[in-house]
Structure 1
Amino acid sequence: MDFHGIDLNLLVAFDALMNERNVTRAAFQVGVSQPAMSAALSRLRTLLGDPLFQRGAGGLLPTPRARDLAVPLAAALRQIEAAMVRPPVFDPASATVTFKLGLQDYPTIVLLPALLAALEQSMPGVALEVHAFNDRNAAVDLLDAGMIDAAIGVSPANTDGRILTRALIRDAFVTIVSSGHAAASRAMDLQAYLALQHVLVSPEGQRHGLVDQALAEQGMQRRLALTLPQIFAVPEVVARTSLSATILKRVALHAQVSHRLTLFAPPVALPEMVFHLIWHRRSETHPGQRWFREFIAAHAAEL
């Protein structure tokens, strides 16, 4: 392929199409009309000898060739941008801006208060607009639609190149029972664990969690008495009943009824739960957005 005379605007158009998966939104991002973006896509297809994008139920779906090109071309464009354009400066102390943050329940309770306290103390012009979500993949839809600047939650199942993630908070599982429960004064071995009735936390409505998967691998099954979509209701339920639950440790410790709970290490091997900072590639180099992500990461590290 002869690269002399290639219009770099075609690469900008390709990057926008990869980010947005929609011709209209890509055109808006680049600042051209929809027909101009469609024409650019046609020229790209001819230039590269590949359809690049095909229409699907969720928008434009990139071909394998497009996926191969996405990361190196995006990196090259960012280098050109850095070399030719002086980046604007973002000063959080004097800025007046509202950042839109998607949050699952866990970071809402565990991290959000610390973020708000820090903003109130030294950045009074920076506000937050919080959007709640439960399904781990909902963050991608919110980011694609431009409804949020970033999200904190369990990493989406498929980030597909345009969605970037960074591990932010780690937590271990504990098994809890009411301090008045007969099991609270005994060792929590597997036999004692299986004798209990359990609460399952399932934001996505499934009847099979990590504990159930670990038990099934050993040919065992626990008795589920209650399934809840919201984890922070669990400590209160356990404190008032004879039920048990296996939940994240910080959830148990943050609960108002934590003094009425007894915590055990689960008698089954469970992985750590990792919550990620999630953002769209389109905001990767924006100075305000970068500051916002680093601000979140710094306060998460203090946990």
Structure 2
Amino acid sequence: MNFYGVDLNLLAAFDALMDERNVTRAAVRVGVSQPAMSAALSRLRNLFADPLFLRSADGLLPTQRARDLAEPIAQALRQIQAAVVPRPQFDPATASFTFNLGLYDYPAMVLLPALVEALRLQAPGASLNVHAVRGRDSAVDLLDAGSIDAAVGVPPTQHDGRILTRPILQDEFVTIVRRGHPQACHGMDLETYLALSHVLVSPEGDRHGLVDQALAQLGRRRHLAVTLPQLFAVPAMVARTDMAATLLRRVALHSAGHQQLAIFAPPVALQPIAFHLVWHRRGDAHPAQQWLRELIAGQAQSL
């Protein structure tokens, strides 16, 4: 391949196809007609001697060759853009913009209040739209669709160049019961734990969580009295009953009635959970989005 004979517009077309997974949307993004984008895809296939994108019910699926090319091409285009396009100045104190943020329940409970406070102080002209995120890869679908600019949650299972992630927050599991619980007055060993009824938070309705997996390795089971998809009600529910719940420490500490709870280390080994900031590569260089991602990361660090 003669590099100097390569039309760099084809690389821009490839980058748009990789992000949008749709010929029509990629054409709109680049500013060409749909037939012109289809022709560019044909030329790309000849250039790289690979199909690159296969049609499916979910849109264009990149081949492994396309996935290998995605990040080097995207990085090269970003460097070209930085060299030829003046970087706009962004002043959050005077800017007016709207940011769409996807949040799982946990960051909505422990991170959102501080984030909104900081946003109102530093960017009073900004608006924040919060979208609920449930499944592990739901954020990816919302990012691909352009419904959100970023998300905070568990890292997605999908790994390719269009979705970028950054770990910003970690928390450990604790077991909570109401303060003065007669069965837990001497601590929380495994036998005490298994004698209790439990609350399980399961966004997708699965009745076999991380605790149950750990117990299964010991040949033990617990009694699940309540399974629910949201975590907000759990601390208050535990404070008013003799049930127990195993959840992340900040959920207990940020609950309204945390003074009514006794907090113990779980009697089974559970790894800490990391939460990531997740965003689409198409917004990676956007000044307002860059600023707000740094604000989110800073607020998470302050926790």
Q: Matched residues in 2 for 1:166 and 1:214: separation? A: 28
Structure 1 residue 15 displacement after superposition: 0.7
The answer to whether the 8 A contact 2:197-2:244 is kept is yes
Q: Matched residues in 2 for 1:152 and 1:122: separation? A: 20
Matched, 1:130 2:136: no
SS class of match (1:227): strand
Greater Cα offset, 158-167 or 207-216? 158-167
Question: Which residue of structure 1 lines up, in the alignment, with residue 83 of structure 2?
Answer: 83
Question: Which residue of structure 2 lines up, in the alignment, with residue 140 of structure 1?
Answer: 140
The answer to whether the 8 A contact 2:184-2:192 is kept is no
Q: Matched residues in 1 for 2:287 and 2:211: separation? A: 42
Question: Which residue of structure 2 lines up, in the alignment, with residue 239 of structure 1?
Answer: 239
Q: Matched residues in 2 for 1:38 and 1:258: separation? A: 59
Question: Which residue of structure 2 lines up, in the alignment, with residue 177 of structure 1?
Answer: 177
Within a 5 Å distance, the mapping from 1:29-108 to structure 2 comes to 29-108=29-108
Structure 1 residue 169 displacement after superposition: 1.3
Question: Which residue of structure 1 lines up, in the alignment, with residue 225 of structure 2?
Answer: 225
Q: Give the ranges of 4+ consecutive aligned residues of structure 1 lying more than 3 Å apart after TM superposition.
A: none
Greater Cα offset, 129-138 or 153-162? 153-162
TM-score, normalisation: structure 1: 0.97
Q: Matched residues in 1 for 2:26 and 2:183: separation? A: 59
Matched, 1:3 2:3: yes
Q: Matched residues in 2 for 1:15 and 1:121: separation? A: 37
Q: Matched residues in 2 for 1:240 and 1:175: separation? A: 15
The answer to whether the 8 A contact 2:198-2:224 is kept is yes
The answer to whether the 8 A contact 1:140-1:159 is kept is no
Question: Which residue of structure 1 lines up, in the alignment, with residue 189 of structure 2?
Answer: 189
RMSD of Structure 2 on Structure 1 (CA): 1.1
Within a 5 Å distance, the mapping from 1:283-298 to structure 2 comes to 283-298=283-298
Structure 1 residue 161 displacement after superposition: 2.4
Q: Matched residues in 2 for 1:31 and 1:293: separation? A: 28
Structure 1 residue 55 displacement after superposition: 1.0
The answer to whether the 8 A contact 1:178-1:184 is kept is no
AA matched with 2:199: V
AA matched with 2:136: R
Residue-by-residue CA offset, 1:150-196 (whole Å, 9 max, x unaligned):
11111112133211111111111100111132123112111111111
SS class of match (1:4): helix
The answer to whether the 8 A contact 1:196-1:223 is kept is yes
Question: Which residue of structure 2 lines up, in the alignment, with residue 250 of structure 1?
Answer: 250
The answer to whether the 8 A contact 2:170-2:275 is kept is yes
Q: Matched residues in 2 for 1:72 and 1:161: separation? A: 9
Give 5+ residue unaligned stretches, structure 2: none
The answer to whether the 8 A contact 1:177-1:183 is kept is no
Residue-by-residue CA offset, 1:115-149 (whole Å, 9 max, x unaligned):
11112223211111111121121111111111111
The answer to whether the 8 A contact 2:188-2:266 is kept is yes
SS class of match (1:16): helix
Residue-by-residue CA offset, 1:195-251 (whole Å, 9 max, x unaligned):
111111101111111111111112221111111101111111111111111011111
TM-score, normalisation: structure 2: 0.97
Give 5+ residue unaligned stretches, structure 1: none
Distance 1:31 1:229, change over 3 A: same
Structure 1 residue 96 displacement after superposition: 0.6
Residue-by-residue CA offset, 1:63-89 (whole Å, 9 max, x unaligned):
111111111111111111112222111
The answer to whether the 8 A contact 1:196-1:243 is kept is yes
Identity over the aligned pairs, expressed in percent? 66
- How many positions carry a matched residue from both structures? 303
AA matched with 1:203: P
Structure 1 residue 293 displacement after superposition: 0.6
AA matched with 1:282: R
